[in-house]
Structure 1
Amino acid sequence: MTINVKTTSRSSGYASKIMLPLACLGLSTAAQALELDVGDSEVSIYGFAQLDAAYTDGPDMYAASGFTPFFDIRPRDVEGSDGDFDMGAYTSRIGLLSATPTKNGPIRVVIEGDFHENGGPGFRLRHAYGEWNGILAGQTWTNFSGFVGLTKTIDFTGPVGRPNPGRLAQIRYTLNGFSAALEDPDGFSVGEGILSGTSGVNQSRVPNFTLRYTQSVDAFTYEFGGLGREVGYEVSNEDDYAFGWGINASASYRFGTGIKLRGAVAHGDGIGGYLFFNPGGAGYVKADGKVETIKATSATTGISIPAGTGAFNLSYAMVQADMDDTAELNPAPPNIYGYDRYDSVFLNYIWSPIEPISYGIEVGHHRAEQPSGESNDITRLQGMVRYTF
């Protein structure tokens, strides 16, 4: 076996395809990568080192974890700390991708991780999958939604109020912009599960089924997604299940001046964590032991305006769950203050003085509301430095 080592640009080819979601959510990823020829396979090692720093005018909220601080927003009548500053490098990332030619098409493999386990610094698997002739198997972004309608943020988790492009174990088939997948029904940790006063566990007997179609017409790109799933629980000798569903639509348009508009909407009943930071769960258990699914709706919109060596990005996002019938549950909904709606506004400037280096500054304003209409908000100032290889 022969191993040849060289450096090459990731600005084209399969590596560019893999790194595109990083560019959509944050910063430039075009840089020199370490590339090895291992037998017939072309292997690239990529990643970045990143420092995050943030000040939040409320309770402890760690920049290293990157979580949008909705769980830390207190109602106005609850006392707490007045502010917190934090720095961390846990979003730094390393990955490996390979392409091996065969007479029936290339086999592509991606393995990627960061140091964000439980907010850091434990190593966490992000992607681990293989792909051949349109068949993908492993863990990667859910097939329910992509990145078409998302505006760049420095906040690691990005805007709420969007179809969640989180990473799930799955098997997927893709052909001409259309894809279908069977996905892990228990893969999301936020906005998921059954709300119940019992000690039962969430349970699904079948995988989630997702569909997606993505297409571009000149400067216009659009995407549609659908979800079908089972929502259920089991405790002692008691269990029950219900059907959940979700739909989403996203679009973006780039003007000749470089200005780009984006937007996405989603809705579902029992959709759970497929809506990012859904303040409710997928469903709850009624007094008679039956599962009732929870409706939720989300929306996000944004604009990117080129300026100098970077761009200004302004975006708004919201997500709301129908929690009217869950007020008497014990424990309460999966946030300590029983919120049913979150709103966010982000304004940032992200720029690259030279290709492998990116800087960013951002202000984010976040609001949480209870079913009664009581609300409070929090503001976060954040900065970032990224060195890409």
Structure 2
Amino acid sequence: MKALRAALEAVQKRQQALERKEAVRQAAAASAPAAGPLLAVKSPFATAHPGYLQIPGSNTLIKIGGYVKVDGVYDVKGSFNGTAATFGDIPLEGTAASKRNPNFSATARESRFNIATLTPTELGELKTFIEGDFYGAGGNAEQSNSYGFRLRQAYFEVGPWLAGQAWTTFADLETVPETLEFNGPSGFPIARQALVRYTTALGPGALSLAFENPSSDAQYTHAVWPDSIGTNFAPEGVVRWKADPSWGHVAVAGLAREISADTGGPNIFGITGKSSTFGWGVLGAIGFNTIGKDRLSFQGIVGEGIGRYFNNGADDNYQGASVNLDGSVRATPAFGVTASYKHYWNDWVRSTVAYGHTEYDNELPRDQLNSIRSIDSVHANLLFNPFVNTTVGVEYVFGHIKKDAFDPATGATGPDGWAHRIQTSAIVNF
């Protein structure tokens, strides 16, 4: 009997202990704040997208990103007209501007900020993306160093459809070299503009069809057309196919555009009215995986009236078409090539060497003495990742321009301009 009583008492004590623990748990739960959506257990949709946070009271996820970047540039010879290289502004040999060197400057205006959202819908994930940097207008290096925040991208994407401002479909970002210098090498197409794009699977890759915002770059060839302005009658059409096989990457694209100008008038020749021409472009890009994570990349474009798509920086001489003296519009033939090799020295050190070339056939350039004939560029860098989300590096940049520049008075042709730069940068991503 004594043994039975002892066993019953032990059971009662264990039961009382369990009841006290449960009472404590319930009291703690009652005093705790109500759990909001961010404190609740993640939904399957949120769990499937690491890095995103759920917006309270909604099914939408949000992600904030970007980076802070500071650049120091030292122009050893010549000038690129700013911390972002504008190759067309390299001063010609023998001019006063070509002798104003060396020169040092620093900026943080490339720093970038973006917001992405994801929302589940019956059509699939609805994605929005907005991005900007500080390469807008303004700037006061004497005091505040203030620069305007500018729009880079703003689009939404659902299923196979994308609409908004994004990178043009007539480009292949996968074969664009990694450089510290903001604009990168000459010779490849790059633009951001409003577009509507449809993408679907085709074979081992993806086919994209797009209508994109037009921007007539027709320019008059003589002062008799002071009121000649570009007009746009239709969007520009682009088709692109790209794939990522086991050996690397491949892409092809085609562009069709209408280039128009309203010549105003009548001018001194009695010519007036509107005129237009057809512009076209073809792109081919390929990247080869070589040793380890290394990649060898090539990209080339050729066409007529594709001047505004080239990555050469802003300059009036990059005309896509010229308005001739008879009022007709001529699309300017042009081509460009870019080649690069990216090498990983180890897991935290890498280098890229890139060469770019662009050439224009300006039959009747607006500025007979200053229109660009060709551009060559070289970038070579050494980049380090000292710790997570951080890159520091140094880069050499070379630029060469050749002008059409036929002077009837002297017979002089083709003056050159050269520039050399050393750039250092530090980037912290968030």
Please give the TM-score of this superposition, normalised by the length of structure 2: 0.77
Paired position in structure 2 for 1:84: 103
Paired position in structure 1 for 2:17: none
Residue 178 (str. 1) matches residue 207 (str. 2): yes
Deviation at 1:37, TM superposition (A): 3.4
Deviation at 1:143, TM superposition (A): 0.6
Give the RMSD, CA atoms, in angstroms: 2.4
1 CA distance for matches of 2:242 and 2:80?
Answer: 40
2 CA distance for matches of 1:175 and 1:60?
Answer: 41
Paired position in structure 2 for 1:105: 124
2:180 to 142, 154, 179: 154
User: How does 1:109-258 map onto structure 2 within 5 Å?
Assistant: 109-118=128-137, 121-164=147-190, 166-176=191-201, 177-186=206-215, 192-197=217-222, 198=225, 199-236=227-264, 238-258=273-293
2:419 to 371, 378, 388: 378
Q: Is the 8 A contact 2:300 2:337 kept in 1?
A: yes
Paired position in structure 1 for 2:86: 69
2 CA distance for matches of 1:33 and 1:104?
Answer: 23
1:314 to 345, 353, 358: 353
Residue 87 of structure 2 aligns to a residue in which SS? Answer: helix
Q: Is the 8 A contact 2:322 2:364 kept in 1?
A: yes
Aligned pair in 2 of structure 1 residues 207, 130: CA closer, same or farther (>3 Å)? same
Aligned pair in 2 of structure 1 residues 381, 2: CA closer, same or farther (>3 Å)? same
Between Structure 1 and Structure 2, whose CA radius of gyration is higher?
2
Residue 209 of structure 1 aligns to which amino acid in structure 2?
Answer: G
1:346 to 351, 358, 379: 379
Deviation at 1:34, TM superposition (A): 6.7
Aligned pair in 2 of structure 1 residues 186, 228: CA closer, same or farther (>3 Å)? same
Q: Is the 8 A contact 1:110 1:127 kept in 2?
A: yes
Aligned pair in 2 of structure 1 residues 304, 86: CA closer, same or farther (>3 Å)? same
Paired position in structure 1 for 2:311: 276
2 CA distance for matches of 1:109 and 1:42?
Answer: 10
> Which segment is superposed worse, 372-381 or 46-55?
372-381
Q: Is the 8 A contact 2:297 2:341 kept in 1?
A: yes
1:326 to 347, 364, 373: 364
Paired position in structure 1 for 2:11: none
2:339 to 301, 306, 315: 301
* CA deviations over 1:26-74 (Å, ceiling 9, x no partner): xxxxxx96734341111101111110110112247322xx2x2323322
Residue 148 of structure 1 aligns to a residue in which SS? Answer: helix
Q: Is the 8 A contact 1:200 1:235 kept in 2?
A: yes
How many residue pairs match? The answer is 354
* CA deviations over 1:275-326 (Å, ceiling 9, x no partner): 2228531100111100011000000101011113121111100000001x22
Paired position in structure 2 for 1:4: 38
Paired position in structure 1 for 2:68: 49
Deviation at 1:3, TM superposition (A): 5.1
* CA deviations over 1:114-149 (Å, ceiling 9, x no partner): 111137510101110001111111000001112132
1 CA distance for matches of 2:148 and 2:298?
Answer: 34
Residue 361 (str. 1) matches residue 394 (str. 2): yes
Unpaired runs of 5+ residues, structure 2, are 1-34, 41-46, 140-146, 265-271, 405-412
Residue 308 of structure 2 aligns to a residue in which SS? Answer: helix
Higher fraction of helix? 2
Q: Is the 8 A contact 1:280 1:340 kept in 2?
A: no
> Which segment is superposed worse, 144-153 or 359-368?
144-153
Q: Is the 8 A contact 1:318 1:343 kept in 2?
A: yes
2 CA distance for matches of 1:206 and 1:216?
Answer: 33
2 CA distance for matches of 1:44 and 1:195?
Answer: 47
Runs of 4+ aligned structure 1 residues displaced above 4 Å come to none
* CA deviations over 1:200-251 (Å, ceiling 9, x no partner): 2111100000111011110221000110001111133521111100000001
Aligned pair in 2 of structure 1 residues 195, 354: CA closer, same or farther (>3 Å)? farther
Q: Is the 8 A contact 1:302 1:315 kept in 2?
A: yes
Residue 301 of structure 1 aligns to which amino acid in structure 2?
Answer: A
1 CA distance for matches of 2:220 and 2:419?
Answer: 26
Unpaired runs of 5+ residues, structure 1, are 7-12, 16-31
Aligned pair in 2 of structure 1 residues 193, 45: CA closer, same or farther (>3 Å)? farther
Deviation at 1:271, TM superposition (A): 1.3
Residue 394 of structure 2 aligns to a residue in which SS? Answer: strand
Residue 174 of structure 2 aligns to a residue in which SS? Answer: coil
Residue 218 of structure 1 aligns to which amino acid in structure 2?
Answer: S
Q: Is the 8 A contact 1:361 1:384 kept in 2?
A: yes
Deviation at 1:181, TM superposition (A): 0.6
Q: Give the percent of matched residue pairs that are identical in Structure 1 and Structure 2.
A: 25
> Which segment is superposed worse, 52-61 or 79-88?
52-61
Aligned pair in 2 of structure 1 residues 58, 41: CA closer, same or farther (>3 Å)? same
1 CA distance for matches of 2:51 and 2:184?
Answer: 26
Residue 4 of structure 1 aligns to a residue in which SS? Answer: coil
Q: Is the 8 A contact 1:50 1:385 kept in 2?
A: yes
Residue 359 of structure 2 aligns to which amino acid in structure 1?
Answer: Q
Deviation at 1:376, TM superposition (A): 2.1
Paired position in structure 2 for 1:22: none
Deviation at 1:255, TM superposition (A): 2.0
Residue 179 of structure 1 aligns to which amino acid in structure 2?
Answer: S
Aligned pair in 2 of structure 1 residues 272, 339: CA closer, same or farther (>3 Å)? closer
Residue 342 of structure 1 aligns to which amino acid in structure 2?
Answer: I
Q: Is the 8 A contact 1:193 1:202 kept in 2?
A: yes
* CA deviations over 1:300-356 (Å, ceiling 9, x no partner): 101011113121111100000001x224x3xx17xx832210000110011211121
2 CA distance for matches of 1:180 and 1:128?
Answer: 19
User: How does 1:19-58 map onto structure 2 within 5 Å?
Assistant: 35-38=53-56, 39-56=58-75, 57-58=77-78
Deviation at 1:361, TM superposition (A): 0.7
2 CA distance for matches of 1:86 and 1:102?
Answer: 49
